[in-house]
């Protein structure tokens, strides 16, 4: 296994719970969120300027649809969002809010289907689910039984979904059959306790899976056979999400959290809650697919 050390800490505001990284290649812009101090960040990678917008509820992830519109996942549901007007337009309502369940993480598969997970806010009950929006614009359940759902990510051919049950320290491989619109699940990685808890993840152009480690101060890269090949040390204890960005998709960006930390932990990891960056040698990411199917508003 190769061990690497981070390169740079971005000069950005500290997040309580940084998450939801998304790179828009058309804009050459990086997006991320602070879920608990609800803010949406956009950084122009050409000039490094940052735009920040505050929200009145938890904002959990950000993406783009095929028309270039911003799509965000919030506590109460999924919305179109305009930076200019700061207006949210409801697309899908989270009816589990009353059960203390919120949205957590999301990505779009290779064919333009949005997948998103939910979690139990108390992180004690398996009330979370993994959902997708199918080509009839309906929201369907892919999997259940998550206390904290993270990911998902998709292999290059698009027939495997990697889905994380963080509290169980388990990364599942869910195989999708387009012909039968069916899913079958197996355990891909049983995460060792020495590495903290698996959190957000992404796939590179060699089908390797890159996984942020909550409590592990690192990102871990596994081959498609499940072999650990790279560890990237990060100067934050609670690492939450990772994405590839930049013109060659070899700029790696990593988010982190600060809200659960003790004074001793903050002294050891003073940059916790910031965004980190390094250049990946011999690895490139995969361009994001725009969302093709959204719930009908």
pLDDT tens digits, one per residue of 41-96: 999 999 999 999 999 999 999 999 999 999 999 999 999 999 889 999 999 999 99
Q: Does the pLDDT value for residue 1 go beyond 80?
A: no
* Range of lowest pLDDT (41-55, 167-181, 214-228, 252-266): 167-181
Distance CA 189, CA 40 (A): 32
Neighbour tally for 80: CB within 10 Å: 17
Q: Read off the pLDDT of each residue in 221-236 and give the average, rounded to a whole number.
A: 96
Token pair for residue 193? 């306790």
Give tens-digit pLDDT for 175-209.
987 664 668 999 999 999 999 999 999 999 999 99
The H or E element containing residue 266 is: helix 263-268
Q: What is the pLDDT of residue 7?
A: 73
> For position 182, what pLDDT does the model report?
63
Distance CA 239, CA 269 (A): 11
- Specify the pLDDT at position 287: 95
Tell me, what's the pLDDT at 251?
96
Tokens in use for 264?
Answer: 């001793």
Burial class (CB in 10 A: 0-12, 13-18, 19+), 147: middle
Nearest one of 131, 138, 81 to 101, comparing CA atoms: 131
H/E stretch holding 131 reads: strand 128-133
Fold of 2-279: Neuraminidase (2.120.10)
Cis preceding linkage at 64, omega within 30: no
Length of the chain: 297
Residue 37 pLDDT exceeds 90? yes
**Joined tokens for residue 135:** 């080509």
CA distances for 43 relative to 38, 49, 245, 246, 289, angstroms: 17, 6, 12, 12, 20
Domain boundaries, the chain: 2-279
The model carries a pTM of 0.96
Average the pLDDT over 253-275 and give the result. Answer: 96
Which residues is 120 bridged to in the sheet? 101
């Amino acid at each position: 296994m190769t061990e690497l050390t981070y390169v740079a800490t971005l000069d950005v505001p500290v997040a309580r719970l940084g998450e939801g990284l998304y790179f828009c290649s058309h804009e050459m812009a990086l997006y991320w969120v602070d879920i608990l101090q609800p803010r949406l960040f956009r950084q122009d990678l050409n000039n490094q300027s940052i735009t920040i917008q505050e929200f009145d509820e938890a904002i959990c992830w950000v993406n783009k649809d095929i028309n270039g519109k911003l799509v965000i996942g919030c506590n109460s549901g999924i919305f179109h969002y305009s930076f200019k007007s700061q207006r949210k337009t409801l697309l899908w309502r989270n009816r589990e809010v009353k059960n203390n369940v919120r949205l957590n993480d999301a990505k779009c598969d290779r064919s333009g289907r949005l997948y998103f997970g939910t979690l139990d806010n108390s992180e004690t009950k398996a009330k979370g689910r993994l959902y997708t929006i199918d080509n009839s614009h309906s929201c369907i359940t892919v999997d259940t039984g998550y206390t904290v759902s993270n990911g998902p990510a998709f292999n290059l051919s698009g027939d495997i979904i990697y889905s994380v049950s963080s509290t169980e320290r388990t990364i599942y491989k869910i195989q999708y059959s387009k012909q039968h619109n069916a899913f079958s699940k197996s355990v891909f990685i049983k995460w060792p306790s020495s590495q903290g808890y698996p959190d957000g993840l992404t796939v590179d152009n060699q089908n390797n899976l890159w996984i942020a480690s909550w409590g592990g101060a690192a990102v871990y890269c596994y081959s498609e056979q499940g072999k650990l090949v790279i560890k990237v040390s990060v100067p934050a204890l609670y690492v939450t999400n990772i994405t590839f960005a930049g013109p060659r998709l070899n700029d790696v960006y990593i988010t982190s959290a600060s809200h659960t930390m003790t004074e001793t932990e903050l002294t050891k990891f003073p940059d916790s809650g910031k965004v980190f960056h390094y250049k990946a040698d011999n690895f490139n990411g995969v361009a994001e697919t725009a969302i093709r199917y959204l719930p009908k508003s």
